[in-house]
Amino acid sequence: MRFTGKRAVVTGGASGIGRATALRLAEEGAVVWIGDIDVAGGEEIAATSNGRIHFQRTDVMQAGDIEALMLAADAAGGLDVVFNNAGAAGSRDPIDVISPEDWDRTQALLLRSVALGIRYAAPLMTARGGGAIVNTASIAALQTGAAPTAYSVAKAGVLHLTTMAAADLAKHNIRVNAICPGFITTNIFTTALGIEGDKRAMANAAIGAIAAKAQPLQRAGRPEDIAAAVAYLASDDAVFVTGTHITVDGGMTIGPRHSWDAEAPSMFAALEAFAA
Ligand SMILES: NC(=O)c1ccc[n+]([C@@H]2O[C@H](COP(=O)([O-])OP(=O)(O)OC[C@H]3O[C@@H](n4cnc5c(N)ncnc54)[C@H](O)[C@@H]3O)[C@@H](O)[C@H]2O)c1
């Protein structure tokens, strides 16, 4: 019950990582405000939460929506925790093809939204003596090969924004950290491809099977795995932790595949024929 008496905002809380985190924070005593463009999903979670989770339609592309969400949570007694998490795949075009508009849209969704989440939360937290902010980055911020270019660059920006904001806000006792999820089975992939209805469940099952084999720990990453780390960073257990990130990826970023997968092609295996 690390969040008893606290109020939290979670963007993108109608699905996936945000949903699991909203539920985790509420389970541990917080009253949570979900901001999302998915009205049906957000209202469904709020309706089944015994008043612990509120939903406010929020488009994180709109500065006014973000500010209104922070103010709503603050008005209930003061804003303690913010999880800037809403997102989608963005443009999948490579750099030699992407349009200026698609580049801007992807950066606005994944990076500007986080900057503005911090911008509007910080004065409210300052007024009450401090708070904790967690931002969703990605392993795509750390290495190539995990996601498209515009997405990966935005997420790398989230990581640097996290350290800069931690520096700016430490004097107000506001901690700012990031989370780098690996391959987590959520709707983000089916949404990116426009797969809906009955086909979505089938596609998600297929994604789960791929995700189970994608990293050293041989099971699919779950939204709850991320929620646990976000709850730690947002809690007083992390009271001396700021300006850093936690990678939760089942070991995906450990190193080249042959270092952890005996089945993967290895240079030494290929050379054995010559050595014999
Ligand atoms: N799933 C993964 O493997 C993975 C890995 C690394 C990082 N992430 C990041 O985690 C975050 C959450 O993604 P997820 O995997 O839970 O996906 P998801 O699709 O399950 O959830 C994303 C949520 O964000 C909401 N959203 C999208 N655009 C919005 C907007 N403009 N305003 C408000 N809400 C909006 C969606 O409606 C949805 O509820 C994203 O920032 C994503 O980039 C995901």
Looking at residue 33, what is its pLDDT? Answer: 98
Looking at residue 262, what is its pLDDT? Answer: 87
In the chain, the amino acid numbered 216 is: P
Name, in order, each residue with C-beta under 8 angstroms of 91's C-beta and a sequence gap of 6 or more. Answer: 98, 99, 102, 103, 105, 106, 148, 150, 151
Looking at residue 63, what is its pLDDT? Answer: 98
Looking at residue 196, what is its pLDDT? Answer: 92
Distance 266 CA to ligand 1 centre (A): 35
Which CATH architecture does the domain made up of 7-275 adopt?
3-Layer(aba) Sandwich (3.40)
Q: Tens-of-pLDDT digits for all 276 residues of the chain?
A: 999 999 999 999 999 999 999 999 999 999 999 999 999 999 999 999 999 999 999 999 999 999 999 999 999 999 999 999 999 999 999 999 999 999 999 999 999 999 999 999 999 999 999 999 999 999 999 999 999 999 999 999 999 999 999 999 999 999 999 999 999 999 999 999 999 999 999 999 999 999 999 999 999 999 999 999 999 999 999 999 999 999 999 999 999 888 899 888 888 888 888 987
- Measured distance CA(97)–CA(94) in Å, rounded: 6
In the chain, the amino acid numbered 8 is: A
Give the residue, by CA position, lying nearest to ligand 1 atom 36.
12
Ligand 1: residues with CB < 6 A are 11-12, 14-18, 36-38, 41, 58-61, 85-88, 109, 136, 138, 181, 183-184, 186-188, 191
Question: What ligand 1 atom has the least distance to the C-alpha of 151?
Answer: 43
Which residues are known to be catalytic?
151
Q: Which of 249, 228, 232 has the alpha carbon at shortest distance from 241?
A: 232
Distance 235 CA to ligand 1 centre (A): 22
Looking at residue 44, what is its pLDDT? Answer: 98
Substitution candidate for ligand 1 out of 139, 186, 246 with most atoms within 8 A of CB: 186
Question: What ligand 1 atom has the least distance to the C-alpha of 13?
Answer: 39
